[in-house]
Amino acid sequence: MPLEALRYELTPVGLHYLLIHFDIPLVDAEMYELCVGGHVRRPLRLTLEDIRSRPSTTVAVTLECAGNGRARMSPRPLSQPWLAEAVGNAEWTGTPLRAVLEEAGVRAGAVDVVFTGLDRGVQGGVDQYYERSLSVAEASRGEVLLAYEVNGGPLPPQHGFPLRLIVPGWYGMSHVKWLRSITVAGSPFQGYQQATAYHYRTSDQEAGAPVERILPRALMVPPGVPDFMSRRRFVDPGRHVIEGRAWSGRAPITGVELSDDGGASWSPGNLEDAGPPFAWRRWTCQWDASRPGEHELCVRATDAAGNTQPLEQAWNLEGVQNNAVQRVLVVVGKADAVQAPADSR
């Protein structure tokens, strides 16, 4: 998501970030069926029409890739080289998962609920369908959705057509796209994307901690205009309003601060009224750009659970959960030359 798209409360389709592990599957909606089975009393097979005829709800959710910020780490962990743009906020419409699980009748002794996608590929030498699990308790949260619409329109192929999981508050890897089946398991799920990938660890020898809920982050719309190659920003001298969004999957955002000296000093920003609980929140902050030359703008968010963004990231093997503060290099002043637009010459 280009960061100027932080201006939109709802990220337009085509600007929302995407992480697609394997290929986008081609799905025939007419032939589509979702299988719900495993450790349940009444296995279900649901067509898309069955799912769309169930009670529906719409929830605004900020999704962020667990690897957002990875490209800022040194040495850089080998995977998608995100800077800070792996985020988006959209309205997802679907039917609550909880009622589907209730209808299937989760049996005593159930441990995990496994979500299998139609997308298949090889990772770590293992040929696999993309699969992630949630504990039965997490899967039974009222906000967890089987979603078939985004921003009021049908899911496009890249967002999981015809059906995907939405787990508000969690990093993107848990929102399984192109759902093929839901399998209730009587023992902890040990699939590749659950037990091997998506762990915070600093060496291969560690078991590590699983990646789950989104850490707080604030991002700003980079002010001024960019240089094509360096992406350095040029800003006219004067007072500017810096704007952006902040979010956390762990607790409500309680504060945002701005720095124009690389994090040495901070000024408080203004948080707009909170909206839906799992959606990002707009903030603004005055910046007095009176001194010509280079400035490093930084922003950091804090949530009600006391989580604050660090100035420097602790390195980890997969480059996940990197919520170090955003840094935007801004030059107060002019480019070398100006080409007046043709309509003003």
> Could you list the residues that contact a copy of itself (CB under 8 A)?
2, 4-5, 7-8, 12-16, 18, 20-24, 26, 35, 37-38, 78-79, 114, 116, 120-129, 131, 156-159, 180-181, 183, 185, 189, 191-192, 222, 225-229, 234, 334-339, 341-343
CB of 170 to a copy of itself, least distance (A): 19
**Residue 117 or 168 with smaller CB distance to a copy of itself:** 117
In this structure, the number of other CB atoms found within 10 A of the CB of residue 7 comes to: 12
User: How far apart are CB 271 and a copy of itself at their closest, in Å?
Assistant: 21
Report the alpha-carbon distance of residue 82 to residue 310 in Å, rounded.
Answer: 18
Q: Contact 220/321 with Cβ under 8 angstroms?
A: no
Output the smallest distance, CB 268 to a copy of itself, in A: 26
Shortest Cβ 307–a copy of itself spacing (Å): 30
Burial of 130 (0-12, 13-18, 19+ CB in 10 A): buried
The residue among 213 and 232 lying less far from a copy of itself, judged by its C-beta, is 232
| 52-79: b (≥16 Cβ within 10 Å) or e | beeebeebbbbbbbbbbbbbbbeeebeb
* Beta carbon nearer to a copy of itself, 26 or 137: 26
- Residue 84: CA count within 13 A, CB half-sphere: 22
| Residue 39 CB, nearest approach to a copy of itself (Å) | 11
Which of 98/120 has CB closer to a copy of itself?
120
Q: Of the candidates 204, 143, 202, 203, which has an alpha carbon nearest to the alpha carbon of residue 169?
A: 143
> Which of residues 312 and 343 has its CB atom nearest to a copy of itself in the complex?
343
